[in-house]
Structure 1
Amino acid sequence: MPTQYTSATAPGALPLLGHAPAFLHRPLAFVAGLPAHGDLVRLRLGPLDAYVACHPELVRRLLTEDRTYDKGGIVLDKAREVFGDGLATCPAAAHRRQRRMLQPAFHRDRLPGYAALMAEEIAGTTATWRDGDVVDVPAAMYRLTTAVTARCLFAAHERAGSLPVHASMDTIARGVGRRVMLPLPGTDRVPTPENRRFRRARQDLQEITRRLIADYRAAGTDHHDLLSMLLSARDEDGQGLSDAEIHDQVVTFLLAGTEATAATLAWAWTLLATHPAIRDRLHSELDTVLDGRPAHHEDLPALPLTARVVAETLRLYPPSWILSRTVAADAELGGHRVPAGATILYSPYLLHRRADVFTCPDRFDPDRWLTTARPVPGTYAPFGLGARRCIGDAFGTTEAVLAIATIAARWTVVPTPGRRIRPARSASLSPRPFTATLTRRAR
């Protein structure tokens, strides 16, 4: 007998505001509680109506039937203001061409080369650390992933890892987060100091990328980095990407790669600090394999626990915790009609904490991945699913494993006592406030 999926409207809507106050002030708890009301739950966010797909099978359909459920909606539309029509945000009509053109840049044969650049930047960034240093962990991880991403994009630039993009990207990422969490029309056009900083940072980043694209075109050399691949990419008709298209892809890679991996690394340190038995096992693995040296691509097969720590961190705290799709034409989802133009939200955070999918879902247990190597589609989606699955998933997880291995082989990250670490209310999950003391390990 086919599964009967339930549909409901979330209770607690306020006049005019709907569910927006609950969504703004306690977003994770609010979203995680929606499955109790139905498999497809209707929300009202101010004047906007939206649906939330809470059941894994409905999410699988939402993400794999991409011509019916296209990229768009209140979350993606806000992100598109920054990313333009890059691979992560472009509509289905443009996606197939872009994906085919960009896929060679992320072929598995190129990963060892990128990993070598990652290892150099991770080692270089952490070389200045000193025993007893007190650091803002999310900021430190953001600086590290910015250096790595910029180096892999612009390897020809003699100081790619220190390009002045960190401040701009941090401001833009926070601005996108505010716009997603306050999806009311017109709020991003009010000339507040935050909006002015956002627009200025976006202009600065655009100028940097335009200048780099022009320099690369003038040189005409393949530097075996991501920007060279973008410049040489051709579609089936032999046409390349325009400068505007390359700019959108560069911004997508810079922001998506930096923000997501930095958040994952920051959460990994909080989880390891509060689970000393797992941290001790991780240290044992790293002492055996690395003996204090930086990790490299060839070490990855010998670091299975480190990889499971990354997978479990992504389950508990997926960086893109809520995303949206727009309905291209009248459709049915789980036996319920959804009209054309409607926004449907889905939350990897919600999916990853369903007790009917993951045993003790709130527990940090990297060993669960010893028996859950291939999750049922729709139950684990930190990188999406189907044709729109993140093209840089292997890139990001490789960077995270190398960073955790290199840092934990030499350092213990000890959170400042007495401070409660909470997820920032933003488009991506990051632990704040989170300061910690770096303690050099004695092996």
Structure 2
Amino acid sequence: MPLAVPSVPGAVPVLGHTRMLSRKPMDFLSSLTSGPDLVKIRLGPHPVVIICNPDLTQQMLSDSRTFDKGGPLVDLVAPLVGEGLATCPLSKHKPARQLFQPIFNRGMAAAHANRFPSAVAKVTAGWRDGLVLDMPVEARRLTIQVAVDTLFADVFSEQEVDQIADDLTSWQVGAAQRMSRPPVFDLLPTPTNRRFDVGLKRVRQTVTEAITRHRRSGREKVGVLGALLSPEGERIPWFNTPTLVDHAMTFLIAPTATVSTVLCWIWHELAQRSELQARLQTEVDTVLGGEAPTFEHLPELELTKRIVTEALRLYPSIHFAPLRTVTTDTRLGEYDLPAGTVVAYSPYIIHRRHDLYENPELFDPDRWLGAKLPMPSRHAFIPFGHGTRQCIAGEYAFNEAVLTVAAIASHWRLESVAGTPLPTRGSVNLTPRGLRLQVSRRISFDETTDAGQPHGTEGGRQRPTQSKAWLI
């Protein structure tokens, strides 16, 4: 006899559980870690079934035919990325993934990784000793620059990169609001709604113009645009101009939004834990010897990799993902799910289960030392998803985070700013809102190796941004 999926208490009229999930997402999701295998919530008027069991989550992720892409999160990001690789239905996924897969094959890993530090240097060239930084904005600038340099063959200008970062900020603020209110409010001509609409239109137009420039340039077609404009890409029947933009937007925005949030949580933890930050600095000083980090350094950056892994566990960027729809009546565990059911999974819930991790709420990079704690099963660690829809750029994103953390730690010390609370608000990604840190320049090794890292004594000044104090 199948069980009925129990409903989570606390839903309110019209909004359902949306307000709880958006205002205190970590508390809300944590409350589900030790409950039933499946629970039902309402996002506005839409019922959503959340899978809280790691084995059932794995079963769902492994069956992309029964559980196809769809749901509120896909609807929310559709105006930004359309039917790009991460959001397109199964019927369009396989040929697109095959087209882009060579970009992320192991043979390309070193080429990508060795360009990460120079992209980091372009952004940190604007940092000064004692500067107070809005870290989510800086992280977005940084990760957009990395994506441009490694995946888009430098087709965007420096001004376009900054504008994309600001437009993405406006979009994320608007998206966060739209997740916590009835849709009718999205139609009001408020300043946030106007910035959301203008930013969305402008960033897609910027990408459209970049594709046009690249097509006419006569330059070698490499990276994402090279794949899109290749003969193989042109043979895919639905690859019209809007679809090209959808895929390009996906590879520009997805690594930016995901890696930037993980970096922010790492920086937050390091600023809170001076001993851990000192250990990290010792490792990068020893391994790098004053040089920029490269692919060849990755095996020796053991603590850095553990820090990134622990951040992916404790603060997975895609913390709550209502983006699968049941295509045919099916059973999941002891529950029957009719066709049309919207299904969500949550790496945040899985990664904080007490039956999978010791002291799961603790940020402890050393838990990944094999001698201290057995490695959890693959069911227990899913920051990049699983199955045929697993993130195509998982290794790329991990290497980017490791080398970026190493590059920053080798030159800068991060300190918390007094009087700046760190609430977290639910949006597409789990970002520490309002994270402001003071950066202090480290004096280590030969300063002549610090290309692109200017000196300065502008203590306490804030770098101007278009952000709000409550920025997601």
- The TM-score normalised by the length of structure 2 is 0.87
Aligned positions of 1:227-376 closer than 5 A: 227-232=225-230, 234=232, 241-324=239-322, 325-371=324-370, 375-376=376-377
Q: Distance in 2 between matches of 1:394 and 1:149?
A: 14
The offset of 1:160, in angstroms, is 5.5
Distance 1:403 1:171, change over 3 A: same
C-alpha contact 1:317 1:349 (8 A) present in aligned 2:
yes
Which has the larger displacement, 382-391 or 166-175?
166-175
Amino acid at match of 1:309: I
1:220-246 residue CA offsets vs partner (Å, 9 max, x unmatched):
432533322322261696769432222
- Report the more deviating stretch, 262-271 or 368-377: 368-377
- CA shift at 1:126, angstroms? 1.6
Counterpart position of 2:411: 410
The equivalent position to 1:103 in structure 2, one of 85, 101, 109, is 101
After superposition, give the CA deviation of every residue in 1:114-167 in whole Å (9 maximum; x if it has no partner).
223222111222233222122112221121112111222332437358533222
User: Which residue pairs with 2:440 in the alignment?
Assistant: 439
Tell me if the contact between 2:207 and 2:248 (Cα under 8 Å) persists in the aligned partners. yes
SS of the aligned residue for 1:135 comes to strand
Provide closer, same or farther for how the CA distance between residues 240 and 158 of structure 1 changes in structure 2, counting only shifts above 3 A: same
Corresponding residue for 1:154?
152
3-state DSSP of counterpart to 1:427: coil
What SS is found at the alignment partner of 2:232? coil
Give distance in 2, aligned partners of 1:113 and 1:14.
51
Q: Secondary structure at the match of 1:432?
A: coil
- When structure 1 is superposed on structure 2, of 227-236 and 125-134 the one drifting more is 227-236
Please state whether the residue corresponding to 1:244 is helix, strand or coil: helix
Q: Tell me: higher relative CO, structure 1 or 2? Use CA pairs within 8 A at least 6 residues apart.
A: 2
Give the whole-Å Cα distance in 1 for the aligned partners of 2:3 and 2:410. 48
**Whole-Å Cα distance in 1 between the matches of residues 158 and 3 of structure 2?**
51
- 1:23 partner SS: helix
Contact 2:412 2:439 in 1 (8 A): yes
Q: Is the 8 A contact 1:234 1:240 kept in 2?
A: no
State yes or no: 1:420 paired with 2:418: no
Partners in 2 of 1:209 and 1:235 — Cα distance?
A: 17
Aligned to 1:172: 171
Per-residue deviation at 1:101?
A: 1.1
- Matched letter for residue 388 of structure 1: R
CA contact (8 A) 1:150 1:160 kept: no
Please give the alpha-carbon distance, in whole angstroms, between the structure 1 residues aligned to 2:4 and 2:133.
47
Tell me by how many angstroms 1:7 deviates: 4.1
In 2: Cα distance, 1:13 partner to 1:388 partner: 31
Q: CA offset at residue 326 of structure 1?
A: 1.0
| CA 299–223 in structure 1, closer or farther in 2 if over 3 Å, else same | farther
Deviations 1:200-224 (A, max 9, x none): 1111112111111112212343253
Query: Corresponding residue for 2:466?
Result: none
CA distance in 1, matches of 2:156, 2:317: 31
8 A contact 1:101–1:233 mirrored in 2:
no
Q: Is the 8 A contact 2:68 2:326 kept in 1?
A: yes
1-side partners of 2:33 and 2:40: how far apart? 11
1:400 aligns with 2:401: yes
Structure 1 counterpart of 2:428, which letter?
A
**Paired residues of 1:282 and 1:305 also in contact (CA < 8 A):** yes
2:414 is paired with a residue whose SS is strand
Distance 2:33 2:156 in 1: 51
SS in 1 for 2:41: strand
Query: Per-residue deviation at 1:344?
Result: 1.2
Equivalent residue of 2:222, what SS?
coil
Going from structure 1 to structure 2, the CA distance change for 1:282 and 1:24 (only over 3 Å counts) comes to closer
Tell me, in whole angstroms, the C-alpha distance in 1 between the residues paired with 2:156 and 2:185.
Answer: 40
**Closer, same or farther: CA 223–16 of 1 in aligned 2, 3 Å:** closer
**Alpha carbons of structure 1 residues 175 and 263: separation in structure 2 relative to 1, 3 Å:** same
The percentage of aligned residue pairs carrying the same residue is: 36
> 1: distance between equivalents of 2:293 and 2:186?
43
- Secondary structure in structure 2 of the residue aligned to 1:31: helix
The superposition leaves residues 258-311 of structure 1 with CA deviations (integer Å, 9 ceiling, x where unpaired) of: 111111111101111222222222111111111333212221111111111111
Corresponding letter in the other structure for 1:385:
H
Query: How far off is 1:339 after superposition?
Result: 1.4
Assess if the C-alpha contact under 8 Å between 1:7 and 1:40 holds in 2: yes
- One-letter amino acid of the structure 2 residue matched with residue 353 of structure 1: R
Query: In the alignment, is the contact (CA less than 8 A) between 2:176 and 2:425 conserved in 1?
Result: no
Contact 2:38 2:51 in 1 (8 A): yes
Q: Distance in 2 between matches of 1:415 and 1:304?
A: 25
The answer as to 2:81 corresponding to 1:112 is: no
TM-superposition CA deviations, 1:368-398 (whole Å, max 9, x none)? 2223786423321111111111111112111
State the SS of the aligned residue for 1:9. Answer: coil
2:391 maps to what in 1? Answer: 390
Structure 1 353/68 Cα, relative in aligned 2: closer, same or farther at 3 Å?
Answer: same
Matched-pair contact (CA < 8 Å) for 2:160–2:206: no
CA contact 2:100–2:224 (8 Å) conserved in 1: no
1:207 pairs, out of 201, 205, 219, with 205
Q: Is the 8 A contact 1:151 1:160 kept in 2?
A: no
Q: What residue in structure 1 maps to residue 40 of structure 2?
A: 42
RMSD over aligned CA atoms reads: 2.4
Number of equivalences: 439
- Partner AA of 1:193 in structure 2: P
Q: Output the CA distance in 1 between the equivalents of 2:159 and 2:109.
A: 18
Contact 1:100 1:235 in 2 (8 A): no
Q: Do the aligned partners of 1:318 and 1:349 also contact (CA within 8 Å) in 2?
A: yes
